[in-house]
Amino acid sequence: MKEHYFIEKLEKCGSYGEIFDLVKKAVKRTLGLHRVGLLLYLENLPPNIGAYYQVGSNGIVLNKLLINLMGKLLISKTDFNSLIFSLLLHEYLHSLGFLNEEEVRKLVYEVSMKTFGKNHPTVRMALEPSLSLNILLLSSIDEQTDPHLEIVKDFEKIEHPYIT
Ligand SMILES: [Zn+2]
């Protein structure tokens, strides 16, 4: 499997499951590691948290709020899928036992480079992980003028410790 295979595959992904499948393939191919039995949850989280993996659990949680915001921004499907790929890859690496944040960030960069090549948005996101989140923070400020209160709803339910 070459770079263009993964680039085309990611562009065609239409679900989190498909993107996650690609994450697993990329990790298997670049690091030789694999695990099964993970579940994906969507939850409204503060906008500065993209996703988290609770150590010892089998669940990766994606920030539903952030994804909804991304969907409203005029970004390409490639950028959108790249962001989801990046977030899932980061948490998948945690689930494989990499708990050091710096190490995980380096691995996200390495896997993205080897999977998509250096000019791909996933690589840019791996180099500047806060950039995409900053854009979202800005758009969430606009969001506060929106009368629906979905942002606040689950805010206090986050009681469990997590690694972002
Ligand atoms: Zn992390």
Low-confidence winner among 33-37, 105-109, 111-115, 143-147 (lowest mean pLDDT):
143-147
Do the Cβ atoms of 120 and 82 come closer than 8 Å? yes
3 state DSSP class of 59: strand
Pairing, β 39-43 against β 59-63: parallel
Distance 163 CA to ligand 1 centre (A): 5
State the distance between the two ends of the chain, measured CA to CA, in whole angstroms.
31
- Domain residue limits, the chain: 3-157
Q: How far is CA 118 from CA 11, 75, 121, 122, 143, in A?
A: 16, 20, 9, 9, 34
Find the 147 Cα to ligand 1 centroid distance in Å. Answer: 32
pLDDT tens for 62-86 read: 998 888 887 777 678 898 899 899 9
C-alpha of residue 58 to centroid of ligand 1, in Å: 15
Please tell me the least confidently modeled range out of 40-49, 65-74, 132-141, 144-153: 144-153
Beta strands in the chain (DSSP E): 39-43, 51-53, 59-63
Residues 6+ positions from 61 with CB-CB distance below 8 Å: 40, 41, 42, 43, 45, 51, 52, 53, 54, 91, 162
Q: Is the pLDDT of residue 162 over 60?
A: no
pLDDT digit string, tens, across residues 49-64? 889 998 888 889 999 8
Q: How far is the CA of 139 from the centre of ligand 1 (A)?
A: 23
Q: Give the distance, in angstroms, between the CA of residue 6 and the centroid of all CA atoms in the same chain.
A: 17
